[in-house]
Amino acid sequence: MQLLLLVGCLGSVQLGDLQVAEREDGGLDVSRYTGKPLVSDLRFAVGRGDEAYEMQAGSYRQTAGDTTWTPVHLANRQGEMLWTFELLDEANTPVGSVTISPAASSTLAVQVQAFDGNRVRFDAACTGDDHFVGGGEHAWDTDHVGEAFDLWVSEPGIGKVETDDQPDDWFITGTRHASSYPDPFFIRPEPVSVLAQTNARVSVDLCTGDRWRLDVADAAATWLISDADTALELVQEHAVMRGTPALPPDWAFGTWADAIRGADRVRAVVAELREAGASASVIWSEDWRGGEDLAFGYHPKPEWAVDETLYPDPSGIDAEMEAAGFKWLAYFAPFLVEGTAAWDEGVPYAIQDDKGEPYTFLGPSLEDTTTVDLTRSAGYAWAVGKMEAAADVGFDGWMADYGEWLPPDAVLDNGDPLGGHNDWPLAWQSASAEALDGRDATFFARSGWSGSPVYAPVHWPGDQRTSFDADDGLPSVVPLMLGDAIAGVPFTGSDVAGYQSVGNDPSTKELWMRWAALGAYSPVFRTHHGAFSDDDWQFDSDAETLATFASLSQDHARLFPYLRGLAEEAAAIGTPLVRPLFLHHPRESWGRTDAWLLGPNLLVAPVLEAGVTSRQVDLPSDTSWFSWADGSPQESGEKDAPLGTIPVFAPAGAVIPTFAEAPDSLVAGPIDGITTLADVEGARVIHVFAGAKGSFTEADGTVYTSDGKATAPGEASYTLTSGTITAGGLTLTIEGTVERAYTVKVWD
């Protein structure tokens, strides 16, 4: 319903559930029709600026970027079903326009067009109680109130300074907000969200003064203002804005272990994981295309085909791994390096310089490098073909690395390297998605922009340092994953135990143990050998570490019914698996980065410091809590956390289905000699935490509903398809289509 209401010479219009009203001082106020304020004193500007960058190592230094902004005012409002304004300068000359229309019942589209300029601005008043959660992946924090920075896809750097002022070694050390995956989407209190729909650079100022703004380096942009009853609904809406997130196969929710340096090592890892009792489903070999020891670590060779010296008969290796219950993943990067077979084959499809020659730069291997022009149909098809060839010989997916290294002055076949820079990761990821379409396969990516989860089923938040450093080591994983969540990334997991050892020591046993425990309660649990693989602590560096890895992998695998149920919801309506606490507990700090929720029912509080065996855990006060480990009632306070363990808690009302037995592998099966997904699907343990009603829906549609009223802890077992089970005085109702053996454990 859209009504035009005039009050004196000022107007207001209801567009869906939102209302826009003119102010006497010339701005606009946006509110819900009920009067709930959303955006106050909204104003606009247009400008003209230049933009140029120097790129080194995938990082960018702006060498030109001054903008002259034109003071404007709204005039000549027209329309009833939507509003349009002219933007007039001080001489009352039209320099731009604004169009406000409903994009959905609770979303306004605000489009600003500059007539002669190439910059547009969205500008509003701060309220004094502001928060800005979002902006994509950032290592320091998730609430960016009081900060100003650019959203521009780049290497995040090895280590970070605490500000957004670039250091002298800007091409190595990152700034506070340098990010492989920025996203121009923010949630504010009320709650209300704002999204800049653009692929151009977005500069934000989030209440460093008394106003907040999002500037877009383009002649036109649309901002979406969305209202919802909860912040979680805004996250869901953003996640499905460009299509629902891609869903990885079931086995992707198993444990992933890395194995490099050849077929013998792959076979050895397969054997030792099975012997140790690990529940592991994936082996990934970064050096499938060859590897070399360089001054900065062991790295894959820059080829696009299997190295059959290192991995002879890859189809045969894959068959062995399938028989042991493992999927095998490879590695791709978009680079072409001079002097390689890939260069000779792929250089006709490379990006070009202004002379029509391949555009080269110093690449990750410190050699003359270019990248495939993904805007050229033949180049895109070449990349897809190389990926399909890898899948054809037996690989079940890969790491789709990079996506940040697009020189801003390159010449593309069909695109603008500045205006389309932030969208480049999606082009790279869509090539992998096309190559794997219809296969039992997946891939994981690190770079991104709005819409990336539509293509990339799994995301990892870049190459952390092998350290406890707050800027870019283990502690940074939490804000990075929480930023992923707000950006609409449902399936994420970090490198256990980091990757980079430039400027810091290799990983230690303590770091590995802490990171692995964190990984076990992430959607994706995956190890990485690290750049200096011979020096880094590995999952099999000693017997205790291997045993801990096996135990944590079993914990992760038993959670599959819960994780897969959450995944189904994510694929349907965009709900992330990792969630900031405030999404379910609104009184919690919006900027909290010491813990997360895995779905609504598990609060994960990792140990992020070296040399400690306990940590303070502040549990939300709006409900009662229980230990996930033993079901005991819990209060906020210091919690024991020996190496190899992690404090995890469940709220009253939580209903969490798990496997009764951790399978050897989450591949579908059956496979002789090991337990697979098919072997354990028929039994569940349902953990029910009393004190409130609760429910959970599995991926197959089975619904568990608890009445929340227990008289004591209890346990009961039945085999049924649908019905009720009573334990400890609590009743659990099961509505299913599959007969299973259920054990219900009630914690009170």
Q: Assess if residue 11 is contained within a domain.
A: yes
Q: Assess if residue 709 is contained within a domain.
A: yes
Average pLDDT over residues 266-280: 98
Inform me whether the pLDDT recorded for 4 exceeds 60. Answer: no
Inform me whether the pLDDT recorded for 1 exceeds 60. Answer: no
728 torsion bin: left (phi>0), alpha (psi -120 to 50), beta (else): left
pLDDT class of 136 with cuts at 50, 70, 90: very high
217 vs 264: CA distance, rounded Å: 52
Q: Assess if residue 549 is contained within a domain.
A: no
pLDDT class of 503 with cuts at 50, 70, 90: confident
Q: Assess if residue 232 is contained within a domain.
A: no
Inform me whether the pLDDT recorded for 9 exceeds 90. Answer: no
Give the per-residue pLDDT at 419.
87
650 vs 442: CA distance, rounded Å: 31
Whether residue 670 has a cis bond before it, omega within 30° of 0? yes
Inform me whether the pLDDT recorded for 247 exceeds 60. Answer: yes
Inform me whether the pLDDT recorded for 295 exceeds 90. Answer: no
Average pLDDT over residues 663-684: 96
**High-pLDDT (> 90) share of the chain, %:** 95
Give the per-residue pLDDT at 5.
36
Q: Assess if residue 152 is contained within a domain.
A: yes
Per-residue pLDDT tens over the stretch 158-211: 999 999 999 999 999 999 999 999 999 999 998 999 999 999 999 999 999 999
Q: Assess if residue 580 is contained within a domain.
A: no
User: Among residues 514, 698, 711, 501, which one has the least CA distance to residue 605?
Assistant: 514
Give the pairing type, strands 327-332 and 280-284. Answer: parallel
Give the per-residue pLDDT at 588.
96
Inform me whether the pLDDT recorded for 3 exceeds 60. Answer: no
Give the per-residue pLDDT at 675.
98
> What's the total number of domains in the chain?
2
Inform me whether the pLDDT recorded for 677 exceeds 90. Answer: yes
Domain that holds residue 697: 682-747
Q: Assess if residue 202 is contained within a domain.
A: yes
The enclosing domain of 202 has a CATH number of 2.70.98
Q: For the residues of 193-260, what is the DSSP string, one character each?
A: EEEEE-SS-EEEEESSSSEEEEEESSSEEEEEEEE-SSHHHHHHHHHTTTSPPP---GGGGSEEEE--
- With tokens 């017997």, the residue in question is 543
Select from 200, 227, 254 the last residue of a domain.
227
Inform me whether the pLDDT recorded for 256 exceeds 90. Answer: yes
Per-residue pLDDT tens over the stretch 415-424: 889 988 999 9
Select from 179, 203, 227 the last residue of a domain.
227
Q: Assess if residue 319 is contained within a domain.
A: no
Select from 227, 248, 278 the last residue of a domain.
227
Give the per-residue pLDDT at 7.
36
Average pLDDT over residues 252-278: 98
Q: List the structure tokens of 730.
A: 């609590």
**High-pLDDT (> 70) share of the chain, %:** 99
Averaged pLDDT score across all residues of the chain: 96
Average pLDDT over residues 613-632: 98
Per-residue pLDDT tens over the stretch 337-360: 999 999 999 999 999 999 999 999
Inform me whether the pLDDT recorded for 19 exceeds 60. Answer: yes
